[in-house]
Amino acid sequence: MRIILGAFVISTVFCQAGALYKSFELFKRNQWQVNKVLKSQDQRNAERMDEIEAAIIKQNEVIRHTMSQVDKLTKNVDESNKVIKSSYETTRRLEVQLQESATKLNLAAKEIQALKMKLESSEVKVSLLEDRLSDAEHADFSSQTGPETIENISVKNPVKKDLPNPKKPLKQSPPKPAAKNPIITGKDANSSICIFVHLQFTTKLTFYRTLSAPEETEKADIKNLVAPSKPILVPGVPIEEEENIDLLESSEGFAGLLNQLKDRPKIPPTEAPALLGEYDEKGCAPIAQISETAGGFVHTSWVDGGDDSITSFNAFAYVPLPEFVPSDGKVLMKFNGVASDIQVWQAKSKRISQDGDLWLFTPSDMNVVKQNAGDVWKFNFIATVASSSPKMELSFCKNFDAPEVVETVMLFDSEIYLPQGEEEAEYDEDEILLDYDLSTEDEPDNFSPLGLIQAPRPASSSSFRPPLGAPINSFKQQTNNRRVVSGGRCSQSAGRAIVNAAQISPNFTTSPSEELEIFQYDLNEVLHKSILFYEAQRAGKLPENNRVPWRGDSVLTDGCDIGVDLSGGWFDAGDHVKYTFPAAFTATMLAWSILDYEDAYQAANELENALDQVRWELEWLLAAHLSPNELVVMVGDPKADHGRWGPPETLSLRRPTYVVNQQKPGTEPAAETSAALAAGYLLFKTRDAEFAERCLTSSKQLLEFSDRNRQNYHKSVPEVSEFYKSWSGYEDELCWATAWLYRATGDVAYGRLARHYYDTFNCGKIEESFDWDKKHAGVQLLMAQTTGEDKYRQDVNRHAIHLITRQATSHAGLLWFHKWGSLRIANNWGAFLLGASQLEPKLQRAGEFALKGIEQLGYSLGDQGRSYVVGFGQNPPVRPHHRAASCPGGKSDCGNMLHSSKANPWILYGALVGGPDKNDRYNDKRSDYIMNEVAIDYNACYQYSAAALKHILING
C-alpha cells in the first residue's frame, strides 16, 4: 500500500514538473516575442525621430530664409520711408514757394488795379485835351499865363465804364492811335503848342470776380485746381490744419452766389445715343463702345509670363439693358485673342468656342440686373488674353446659350493662381468691442483709457419670441416699450373706407421777399408740403388734428400675430409695407435736419409739425423694439401687398410680423434704429425728458444687440432680400450708430468706439452713394461736426470735392448714380454738400459745395422747366406711383387706375418723385414706378437740403 502511495506521489510530482517546464518554455517564447516587438518599436521610433529632426532642420532653413526676406523688405520699407519723407519735404518747400508766389500775385494785383484806375482817369484827361487841341487854330493864347499841361486839367464827372463781366476775363484795351501833331497858327507864331501823349498799359492777369466799384481794390482769386488727397503720414512730421479760406467770398456775400445759381442757363434735355443694337438671328444685340457708358474697357493691365504678346488685365463691362430685361439675359464677349483665367464676381463665365475667344457671362443675381432695366449694368472681371493690346466686343443676348468648351487653354508653362475672394467671417473672436457694462460716469472730459474686451461668441438667448401667427395669449413677456395688444383692437377690422374724403388745403407762411429775390422757390412752402407728405404716409389710428382728409385709420391690427401694437409708423412708399431699416434712416435724417437747422423750421412756422412727424415714427420704433435683443424689421407681406392696388384703409391682407433676435440676428436695422433713437433723444431731451430717456435707453440696447450679434439681416429674414437688403454690409451702420450715440451722450466710451470703428471699417472712404444702405458720407459729416477734428474734416472735404469735380452728372447737371430714384440720390448728395459747407471753420471750397447742393434742390423744384415735387411749382407730377392718392374716395379697390392716364384724384403734396433718366427725360406715368415712385427716404435728405438753404438765407 505504501509502495503504491509512494508511486502515486512520485508520478504526481513528475506530472507537475512537466507542466511547470512547459509553462516555463511558453514564457520564454512569449518573452522573446515581446522583446522582438519592443526592439522593432525602438527602431521605428528612432527612424521617426530622425525624420522629425530633418524636418526641424528644414523648417529652420525656411525660417532663416524668411527672416532674410523680412530683413530685405524692412530695408526696402526704410528706404521707401526716406523717399516719402524727402518727397514730403519737397512738397512742403513747393507749397511755401506757392504761398510766396500767391502773396506776390496779390500785391501785383493791387498795383495793377491802382494803375488801371490811373489809366482810366488819364484816358479821360487825354480825351479832354485832344478836344481842346482840335480847336487850337481858332484859340486866342495871348491871355494865357502859361501852357496848360495834363496835370493842370481837372476832370469833372468822369464817364464811368461798364463793370467787367465776371464770367469773362478782362481784356486789354487796344492802345489809341497816336494823333498827328496839329499845325498851330495864331497871332504869335512862336506860341505854338506841341503835346504828344503816349500811354501804354499791358497785363495778363485775369479777373474772375465781380468788381463792386472802380475805386475798390480786390485780392487775386487763386484756386487750387488739384483736388487735395489725404496727407502722407510721415513719422515725426505733424499734419498742419487747413487754412480757413473761402474762395467764393464776394462783396455781395452769399446772396450774390445764389443769384448766380438762379440765373444759370437752363440746358434742354438731349436724346441718348443708341447703346444697344438690333437682335440678330441668335438673339444677340451688339453693344456700342462708348467710354464709361457701354462696351468693355481695360482698366489696368500687366504683361505676365515673360511674353509681351500675352496680357493680363482688369476690365469693366458696361451693359446697356432694355426696358424689359429677359429672365435669361446674358452677355456674350468676344476677345481679340485666346482668353483664359477669367475671374468675375457679379456673373458666371464659361468658354464657348474652341479658339478660346468667345465667352458667355450669366448674371449671378438676375434681380440686380432687372433693377437696372433701361439703364446700364456694370460688372468687373480679370482675364488673360493672347494679345499685346487686349480688346473685347460685347453683345446682350436673350434666348441664347451654348455648351461650355472644357479644353484647357494654357497660355503659360504653369498655372497662375490669383487670389480668390473669401466670404467674410460672420464673427471674429479677436474683434475688439466695447465693454457695454463698463461705467464711464466718473471719467474726466478728456479721453482716458477705455476698457476694451475680447467679445465672446454670442450665447444662446433665453428670451422668448413666439412664432409668427402664435396665439395672442401665448406672448407674455413685455418691456416698457411694448404697446400691449387689447382684445378689442385685434378683434375689429383693420380699417374702414373714407366717407367724406376731401383735398388737402395747404396753409403756409410765405417766405420773405428778400429770400425769394435770392432763391426763387418758397422754402417755407417746400418744408410745409414735405411734412404734409409724411402725414399722408401715416399708418394706424390717425390723430384728431389730421390734415390729410383723404386718409383715415388703417392697419389697426398690425402686430396682433405677436401680441404687440404695431399699428403706427409710416408706410414705406406707394405701397403699405413697413420696413424698419429705411424708416429709421428717414427718421434719423429728419431729426438731424431739425437739430442742425431748427431756426429754419422756426422761421417757416413748421417746427411743431416737423417734431410731430419725427416723433410719430420714433414711437413706432420704440414699439418695434420688443426687448433688449429683439426688433421688428418688417410688417406685411411685400409680394402680396404689391399685388393689390387699393387704399390702406380697406386693406384685408394677412400682415405677418418679422423679428430679428439673438438666434436670428440683424445688425443693419438694429444699428440704424439705434442711430434714429439717439438722434431722437437729442431732439426731445429738452422738450419731453421722459420720452427722450426711453429713446436713449433703447438706442444703447440696440447698439449692444447689433454689435454683439453681427449678421446681415437678410440672412435671418430672407423676405427683405428683394426690397431692402443691405448690399454694403453692416459695418457702416455700426459706425453710424456709435457716432450718433457719441453725439447724443458725449460719453468717452462711445467716442473711442466710434473712432475705432471709423478706422476699422474704413468709414472714411468715398462710397458710390449716400442712402439708407450706405452711410459713409453721413458718418464723415457727423464725426466732423461732433469732434471738429481735422481727420474727419479732411474726409468730408475729399468726399465733397469728388462730388463736385468727378461725380457723373446728367446733361443738365443732376448728380448721377442710378436711374432708380435719381432725384433721391442727387438730393442725398446735395444734403451732404450743404452740411459740409456749414462746417466751422469753413472748408476751403465751402461755397462751391453749397452751390452744388443747391443745384440739386433747384433741379427738383423746377430749374429745368418743370417741378418734380407733387403739388409744387410749374407743371408738377400728377400721376405719382401711390395707391392711396390714386384711388377715388370710398373705393376699396382701384386696380384700373394703375395704367390709367387720369391724374390722381388726391394731390400728394410735397412728395418727391423718382425723377428723370440720365438724359433728363421724364414721363409722368403712374405705372412707371422707376420715375414716379415716392418713398419716405426720398424726401428725407430733400427736406434736409431745404432746411439747410433756409438756414443759410436767414444767417446771410
List residues with catalytic annotation: 924, 933
Q: How far is it, in rounded angstroms, from Cα 501 to Cα 911?
A: 19
Coil vs helix vs strand at 334: strand
CA-based nearest residue to 284, from 365, 396, 394, 118: 396
For residue 384, give the H/E element and its range: strand 376-385
Residue indicated by cell numbers 405701397 = 575
Contact 871, 907 (CB under 8 A): yes
Burial of 865 (0-12, 13-18, 19+ CB in 10 A): exposed
CA-based nearest residue to 687, from 618, 736, 589: 618
Which amino acid does the sequence have at 607? L
CA-based nearest residue to 866, from 916, 918, 830, 822: 916
For residue 333, give the H/E element and its range: strand 330-335
Which amino acid does the sequence have at 284? C
DSSP 397-460: ESS-----------SSSS---PPPP-PPPS--TT-EEE-TT---TT--SS-----EEEPPPPPP
Q: 751 phi and psi, to 5 degrees?
A: -65, -45
Coil vs helix vs strand at 488: helix
Contact 826, 915 (CB under 8 A): yes
Q: 207 phi and psi, to 5 degrees?
A: -105, 140
- In the sheet that holds 657-660, the strands lie side by side as 578-579, 631-635, 657-660
CA-based nearest residue to 763, from 805, 792, 724, 722: 792
For residue 887, give the H/E element and its range: none
Strand partners, 30: none
Q: How far is it, in rounded angstroms, from Cα 477 to Cα 470?
A: 14
Residues 6+ apart with CB under 8 A from 165: none
Burial of 834 (0-12, 13-18, 19+ CB in 10 A): buried
Contact 524, 604 (CB under 8 A): yes
- Residue 650 per-residue DSSP state: G
Q: How far is it, in rounded angstroms, from Cα 350 to Cα 684?
A: 58
- Residue 933 per-residue DSSP state: B
Contact 850, 255 (CB under 8 A): no
Q: Nine-digit cell at 467?
A: 412664432
Burial of 435 (0-12, 13-18, 19+ CB in 10 A): middle
Q: CA dihedral in degrees (932, 935, 938, 941; nearest 10)? A: 150
Cβ atoms within 10 Å of 471's Cβ, excluding its own: 9
- Residue 179 per-residue DSSP state: P
Q: How far is it, in rounded angstroms, from Cα 587 to Cα 592?
A: 8
Q: Nine-digit cell at 334?
A: 468676344
**How far is the first Cα of the chain from the last one, in angstroms, to the nearest whole number?**
145
User: Radius of gyration of the chain from Cα atoms?
Assistant: 40
Q: How far is it, in rounded angstroms, from Cα 447 to Cα 437?
A: 18
Strands 311-320 and 347-351: unpaired
Coil vs helix vs strand at 648: helix
Residues 6+ apart with CB under 8 A from 844: 224, 242, 243, 244, 245, 246, 247, 797
- Residue 679 per-residue DSSP state: H
Q: How far is it, in rounded angstroms, from Cα 949 to Cα 855?
A: 11
